[in-house]
Amino acid sequence: MNWGLRWRRRVEGPLLAPRSFDLTVLTMLMVLAVHAPHLPAWLSTALGAVLALRWWQRRRAPGKAPAWLKLPLIALLTLAIVTTYGTIFGRAPGAALAVGLLVLKLLETETPRDARVGIAFACFALMAALLFDQGLVATFGVALGLLPVLAALRSLEPAQASATLLRQLLPGLTLLAVSLPLTLFAFAVVPRLSSPLWGAPQADETRTGLSSEMSPGGMTELLIDDSPAMRVTFDGTPPPRDALYFRAYVMRFYDGSSWHASNNPSPEPEPLESYGRQGYTVTLLPNGQRVLPALDVPLQSVAGATLRLGRVLVRDQPVNDTLNYHLDSALHYRMQARLSSADARAALQLPAHFNPRTIALGHSWRQRYGEDTGAIVKAALDMFHNDGFSYTLAPAPLGRDAMDDFLFATRQGFCEHYASAFTVLMRAAGVPARVVTGYQGGFWNRMGSYLLVRQSDAHAWSEVWIDGRGWVRVDPTAAVRPERVSLGAAAASGDGRAWYQDAWLQGMRNRWDIVNRWWDKGVVGFDALRQKGLLTPFGVPQTDNRTLAWLLVAGGMLFGGAGLAWAMARRSRMDPALAALRRLERKLAHAGVARRRGEGPQHYLRRAARALPRQRDALQALMEQYLQLRYASDEPASESLRDFRRKVRDFRTARVVQ
């Protein structure tokens, strides 16, 4: 208690009301909530604890935190952010610092002025959350965060009657609903920029997704990530599920622990003989990568990208915004029927002094089957199928000779383990081979007629070169667990991670994805190009900035006129406070105290209080409340007006005794 008293002696000026302080805390809690998905867990937890402790301390005794407490906390926050991010500049560290300083501002929030400063900064912090995520849920969360902001600002106005928290939040909800038409109009006609204001993407914009490097066990977090990666619509009938392989990276170099994609930007794609084609459109969600997943195998490139070795599409710029591209792919093909000696050496490369037992096994197959590549491939697949291998997303860790540990000890793993081990075995047996990573499968959404591919559909497989046939896809994971191809990674694991594969939950989840798809296409994807076609349904082929400006002026005048008419209509009605005062005057006149000509309400009610001593306190309170309603603010709160009218209605008088 003494600690609270030491804080209280530092307070100067009018004290913040408890309800206003609670609403300010709720405002900062909402800011923390909308930023929590991209803040470190330790920071969100620590700031939440500061909010809770400050609220608890303030309930015991008001008071500002002393400087000896605030300054070390600010220094500690800055040091922690620099340690975590390496800098305080940039989107992620800047947002973390802003949210942290906002929460620490609460330690000195004791007056209405302090609260207004904190609430104003909270509005900026809420807006900053949209720099990370502009999805439907995130946008709705930011809009919801405005409710405590509006309620807190209203609570700081004079003459506010006490009300429940829900009733204080309702006016803000009404304001948001009324502002929705104007918001939609401004969204549609305010001219769009062709590029974001903050310029080039920063390093902290990289998102979860596939990588140009693969090591056994590295995809674990990706395979349990249920967020969408891309959506695919097909021209005509979609391919069967076992043909839904979307290649992203082709990896040829192996250092004993990891596979790496070629870092040479110049190699041309392999020659291809295709049999038929499948057209489709990909809506790729932001991932910070440059590689564009394509149905195996793409026949051509797209604008802003090049087709490189391995038939891999590489974009000039990272995908930091939702990207749409149309491709044609061959489901049946012969790729690079002839292999040069240099390509063969690259596809047979193995590091020295790694995985001796795996290398020996591959050599033994070479000696047994000779040049029969098909027999060597079958021997490896039979081993995976028959020798006790299991599919799991939680495999045992591997040591330096990772492939030896996997093949002869643990025998547990998922696609990365099997693709890596199979490719090493093939190379040891003299068969050119490489690893391919991308996505396999997905959920066919019948309602939207599109394929939803999630991050959990990430997959790794192998390609072997067979004389006369070229590069041929081999999926060793399917030999161990065919359900990986038919059901997906999580469902095939059988380790309890596929709870969301329940039919009812899956249906709800994928119906919701239709809403997300509409939001991404209609709101997030509403760019300058789409704005130019805004008036196409009305016969205007292209909407230029001049037309948008005229629309903006006309709409502004329309909305302004509507607002002015509404305000004038309200003014034409008698002031509710004045109407209640007239009712009180009639009651007092009936009791024998009539208002004199030219007498002001303050003098009149004081005279009535003297004439009616039994109602003196009630009349004094009514007088003070009326003066607050009439003169303390331009627009008194509806709760205060209702409270005044109720008290006038319940007021009872007796006739003046002469």
Closest listed residue to residue 373, CA positions, set 471, 445, 489, 511: 471
Neighbours of 377 (CB within 10 A): 24
The verdict on whether 544 is a catalytic residue reads no
Residue 57 burial by Cβ neighbours in a 10 Å radius (0-12, 13-18, 19+): middle
Which two three-digit tokens encode residue 511?
A: 């119906």
The verdict on whether 382 is a catalytic residue reads no
| Helix pair angle (415-428, 373-386), 10° resolution | 140
CA dihedral sign, ordered 607, 608, 612, 616: negative
* Phi-psi category of residue 47: left, alpha or beta, with phi > 0 → left and psi -120 to 50 → alpha: alpha
| Termini Cα distance of the chain | 56
CA distances from 258 to 418, 432, 463 (A): 13, 18, 17
Which two three-digit tokens encode residue 366?
A: 């070479």
Q: Which residues contact 196 (CB under 8 A, 6 or more apart)?
A: none
Residue type, 255: D
Name residue, tokens 């081990």.
421
Which two three-digit tokens encode residue 219?
A: 């995809």
Largest CA distance in the chain: 128
Give the Cα separation of 309 and 304 in Å (integer): 17
Which two three-digit tokens encode residue 21?
A: 């302080």
User: Among 114, 405, 457, 459, which one carries the catalytic annotation?
Assistant: 459
Q: What is the DSSP string of 115-164?
A: HHHHHHHHHHHHHHGGGT--SHHHHHHHHHHHHHHHHHHHHTSSSPPP--
Q: Which residues contact 601 (CB under 8 A, 6 or more apart)?
A: 581, 623, 626, 627
Residue type, 335: M
CA distances from 214 to 222, 254, 259, 297, 379 (A): 12, 10, 5, 21, 25
Yes or no: say if 266 and 228 are a contact pair by the CB < 8 Å rule.
Answer: no
The verdict on whether 475 is a catalytic residue reads yes
3 state SS for 45-73: HHHHHHHHHHHHHHHHCCCCCCHHHHHHH
Cα 333 to its chain centre, rounded Å, is: 40
Name residue, tokens 């065919």.
482
For residue 319, whether the previous peptide bond is cis, meaning omega lies within 30 degrees of 0, is no
Residues, the chain? 658
User: Among 475, 513, 520, 643, which one carries the catalytic annotation?
Assistant: 475
The dihedral over CA atoms of 537, 542, 548, 550, expressed in degrees to the nearest 10, equals -90
User: Among 204, 415, 457, 643, which one carries the catalytic annotation?
Assistant: 415
3 state SS for 576-634: HHHHHHHHHHHHHHHCCCCCCCCCCHHHHHHHHHHHCHHHHHHHHHHHHHHHHHHHCCC
- The strand ranges marked E within 262-332 are 272-274, 278-284, 291-292, 294-295, 305-308, 312-315, 323-329
- Which residues are the active-site residues? 415, 459, 475
